[in-house]
Structure 1
Amino acid sequence: MKKWLAIGIALPFILSGCSDGKTESSKSNHLEAVPASQKYSQLATSQAALEKDSPIVVTVIKQNQENETLSTVSIKKIHKDTTQKLNISDQIAVLESDGTDVQLNGKPIPQDYYKKMEVGNSYRLYIRASTSGNNYVLTNDFLSKYPTAKVAHEELLNQNGQSGKSSYEELYYTIYDNMYKK
């Protein structure tokens, strides 16, 4: 009788341990939004810092939108790949900016300025492999995505009725303009 009681008590713990292992492995492919304050201690303050902080720099074409924050892109050119895992024509998933409370020079950056990639358009991305799934993330939030087509500054970021330019907008525009000087 005591033997059956012990088995009865131990069995739920054993079974829950087994099911937790399955849940854990499925979590590795599940994307969870992480507040940007946990993703970035600070953002790059120059183009050189952006390039140094980014293990991967690629030119891509957006293929489709997998969900609200995950985009599929096709690699057209590899400018830098310290991982040596990417090839031209590879399709990768990129988690677009969805963070809040990102700091630049000690000041919070509103995330509603981020303009998501559009299907069929080409972009230069500064990315790294994600630590929470089989995808890639922007290394420096909104500073990590630039259209390769020349467009007016007003079309690069969502303005949402804001007047005047902040220091992060100026840095974004400077990096964008420098792409065409090389």
Structure 2
Amino acid sequence: MGEVTINNIQKDESGILKENKKINALEDSVENVEVDGEKYDLTIDGYINMQESEEYTLFLRKSTSGDNYVLTNALLSKYPVEEEEQDELFLEDGESLEETEDLKDTYQELYQEVLKE
């Protein structure tokens, strides 16, 4: 769970969100989990958590289980505002399934669209 400051709102049907408001956003990964004495990042398909002081375009929805927000899709809902190389967008975890590679390709296509806007 990370605290996020809203800089710009493109769409909010609830009318609850306001610019400069801070909200909590839940990401689908956990960093530095100790397993058998070693620390690992547990993630879905190489997802990288948001970094402090970086800006992102997020697609969020209100959580059904708390006063926070969640990404509408674990992989396809967070895009850095500043363009990054594809190899910086996902953790490398060895072998990738074909489905994961397809998701990464879809992400890259959507990322280019988000950057245009």
TM-score (norm: length of structure 1): 0.53
- What is the identity, as a one-letter code, of the residue corresponding to 1:173? Q
Number of aligned residues:
103
Which consecutive unaligned segments of at least 5 residues does structure 2 have? 31-42
In 1, distance between residues paired with 2:86 and 2:112? 9
In 1, distance between residues paired with 2:17 and 2:116? 26
Aligned to 2:40: none
- What is the identity, as a one-letter code, of the residue corresponding to 1:122? E
- What is the identity, as a one-letter code, of the residue corresponding to 2:46? Y
- What is the identity, as a one-letter code, of the residue corresponding to 1:175? L
Aligned to 1:167: 102
Which residue, out of 5, 10, 16, partners 1:85? 16
Larger Rg computed on CA atoms:
1
Deviation, structure 1 residue 97? 1.1
In 1, distance between residues paired with 2:65 and 2:71? 13
Q: Classify the secondary structure of the residue corresponding to 2:110.
A: helix
- What is the identity, as a one-letter code, of the residue corresponding to 1:132? S
Deviation, structure 1 residue 161? 2.5
User: In the alignment, is residue 126 of structure 1 matched against residue 59 of structure 2?
Assistant: yes
Cα deviations by residue, 1:73-116 (Å, 9 ceiling, x for unpaired): 000000110111000000000000139xxxxxxxxxx7151100
The sequence identity of aligned pairs, in percent, is 36
Q: Classify the secondary structure of the residue corresponding to 1:92.
A: strand
TM-score (norm: length of structure 2): 0.81
CA RMSD of aligned residues (A): 1.9
In 1, distance between residues paired with 2:16 and 2:74? 22
Cα deviations by residue, 1:130-153 (Å, 9 ceiling, x for unpaired): 000000001111111111111101
In 1, distance between residues paired with 2:54 and 2:3? 12
**Runs of at least 4 residues off by over 2 Å:** 161-165
Aligned to 2:29: 98
Aligned to 1:176: 111
In 2, distance between residues paired with 1:155 and 1:98? 17
